[in-house]
Amino acid sequence: MDARHELGIGLLGLGTVGSGVARILPAKSEALFGHLGTSLTIRRVLVRDREKPRAVRLDPACLTTDPAVVLDDPAIHIVVEVIGGEEPALTFIHRAVAQGKHVVTANKEVIAKHGPELFRAAAARGVAIKYEASVGGGIPIIAVFQHDLSANDLREIRAIINGTTNYILTRMANEGSEFASALAEAQALGYAEPDPANDVDGHDAVYKLAILSSLGFHTEVHPDQVYREGIRQLAARDFQYAANLGYAIKLLALARNTTRGVEVRVHPTLIPRERLLAKVDGVFNGIEVEGDLVGRLMLYGRGAGAEPTTSAVVADVVDLVQRIVRGESPAYQEPPRVPRPVVPMAEVTSRYYLRLIVADRAGVLAQIAREFGERNISIAAVIQMAADAAAGTAELVVMTHQANEAAMRQTVAAIARLAVVSQVASFLRVED
Ligand SMILES: NC(=O)c1ccc[n+]([C@@H]2O[C@H](COP(=O)([O-])OP(=O)(O)OC[C@H]3O[C@@H](n4cnc5c(N)ncnc54)[C@H](OP(=O)(O)O)[C@@H]3O)[C@@H](O)[C@H]2O)c1
């Protein structure tokens, strides 16, 4: 057999995803690669602890705690990185590339922060870095951007790309739970980490949006440039009020390709309930894309979990193997990425939802309306939601028409200073 057709895999990590890959690749190898005259073997697996019980049966001799055993083995052609985190994963990927190995990774943090430098290093070395599993778990989206939508100028990406927060928000909407109890339930079910910050504060969605907007708009968006708000501040009554107004609240990752630059932001958002995105519930993910030719397109599926993520990782391996066997360049030749300005959040326009606790007496509304009027923000609706007779307060929800973010923030600050306003309880954006 041609040496090229005896391909070796080196696996970095044998956790949730690594175990899935270690189980599925040998099980499906014959069906996937047999007709290509190719045999694919997992030669080495890097772990931290060789003694740890594993979810998959593997020859114990495969396991190593020495990265060099994987990264410097000339019989390993493809390195699958499923360790996670920035380091040492970044160093390992660089080293694999320098050794002329193709890389498949599920690592959103590394790709979001270091994608451009890694892709340049890979191109210079003539190898590929593939990262389908880094966004949307089992949902095919990277290959869809690279291939199926390549004729389009993408205008907008709107996505629910964090299953943990979507599960929590769905519980808050359906059961009337407050954030803390919905989070505790997600943790008990294994949907949220003991330290949930990466998910609930929006970092994970930011990484994924940086990857999608960079790829989709052929530019370089660093995660630090993405505006971010998490979901900790949301209250159960916001979900009730939003529902009464015909909206769901979702942690939306939104990227817009405008003439002034790219808008990239992750924040809780009111979405009309009839929109498909508003119906993406529980741990599911949904990615809506708008292109000049294709119009609006929606991808929906499982954004995490061993099997969906393994589906994406193995698909990347299959694609690499097919290209290698056909003698093609395995590296995807994407159009050049051109740096574009990121529109500052202060310059973004949106509709807004504001929940205020105010004194329950005449003349309050006029004072609030004046603050909006002075900054040319037009109010779409004001609804008195509930009154607390004992406290002498009432709860008001204000929905605005399109307004500038900076003007809106000034208005909210001015409203908060009014003697008749005891609290600006919520300040959320609305996408129609
Ligand atoms: N889990 C999902 O549903 C999912 C979905 C999409 C993408 N991803 C991405 O997939 C990647 C892996 O996630 P996971 O959930 O499988 O993680 P995980 O369960 O925590 O597994 C990590 C694995 O990496 C090994 N490891 C960690 N640090 C290491 C080090 N310094 N040296 C050697 N080995 C090390 C661990 O070894 P030990 O086993 O010995 O501790 C473990 O086997 C991450 O980038 C994640 O973001 C995961």
DSSP strands (E only) in 174-229 = 227-228
Nearest atom (ligand 1) to Cα of 48: 40
Question: For residues 9 and 192, what is the distance between their CA atoms, to the nearest angstrom?
Answer: 31
Instruction: Decide: residue 336, CB within 10 A, 0-12 exposed, 13-18 middle, 19+ buried.
Output: exposed
2, pLDDT greater than 70: no
19 C-alpha to center of ligand 1: Å?
10
Is residue 297 classed as helix, strand or coil in its secondary structure? Answer: strand
Question: For residues 59 and 277, what is the distance between their CA atoms, to the nearest angstrom?
Answer: 44
Assess whether the C-beta atom of 48 lies below 6 angstroms from ligand 1.
yes
CATH topology of domain 3-137+306-326: Rossmann fold (3.40.50)
92 C-alpha to center of ligand 1: Å?
14
Question: For residues 170 and 239, what is the distance between their CA atoms, to the nearest angstrom?
Answer: 10
pLDDT > 70: percent of the chain: 99
Mean pLDDT of the chain: 96
CATH 3.40.50.720-classified regions of the chain:
3-137+306-326
115, pLDDT greater than 50: yes
Q: What region does 322 belong to: left with phi over 0, alpha with psi -120 to 50, or beta?
A: alpha
Q: pLDDT tens across 270-302, in order?
A: 999 999 999 999 999 999 999 999 999 999 999
pLDDT band at 5 (very low <50, low <70, confident <90, very high): confident
pLDDT band at 3 (very low <50, low <70, confident <90, very high): very low
* The architecture CATH gives domain 347-430: 2-Layer Sandwich (3.30)
Question: For residues 367 and 306, what is the distance between their CA atoms, to the nearest angstrom?
Answer: 55
Backbone angles phi, psi at 88, to 5 degrees: -85, 5
CATH 3.30.70.260-classified regions of the chain:
347-430
Q: What is the mean pLDDT of residues 371-380?
A: 98
Assess whether the C-beta atom of 377 lies below 6 angstroms from ligand 1.
no
Please tell us whether the domain made up of 142-302 is placed in CATH 3.30.360.10: yes
**Global confidence as pTM:** 0.97
89 C-alpha to center of ligand 1: Å?
10
Q: pLDDT tens across 410-422, in order?
A: 999 999 999 999 9
Q: What is the mean pLDDT of residues 79-83?
A: 98
What DSSP line would sit under 364-420, residue for residue?
HHHHHHHHHHHTTPPEEEEEEEEEETTTTEEEEEEEESSEEHHHHHHHHHHHHHSTT
Question: For residues 203 and 188, what is the distance between their CA atoms, to the nearest angstrom?
Answer: 22
Q: What is the mean pLDDT of residues 119-139?
A: 96
Query: Catalytic: 208?
Result: yes
Assess whether the C-beta atom of 11 lies below 6 angstroms from ligand 1.
no
Out of 101, 130, 208, 250, the active site residue is 208
Question: For residues 278 and 288, what is the distance between their CA atoms, to the nearest angstrom?
Answer: 11
Assess whether the C-beta atom of 133 lies below 6 angstroms from ligand 1.
yes
pLDDT band at 37 (very low <50, low <70, confident <90, very high): confident
332, pLDDT greater than 80: no
409 C-alpha to center of ligand 1: Å?
40
CATH 3.30.360.10-classified regions of the chain:
142-302
pLDDT of residue 97: 98
Assess whether the C-beta atom of 88 lies below 6 angstroms from ligand 1.
yes
pLDDT band at 4 (very low <50, low <70, confident <90, very high): very low
Q: pLDDT tens across 228-264, in order?
A: 999 999 999 999 999 999 999 999 999 999 999 999 9
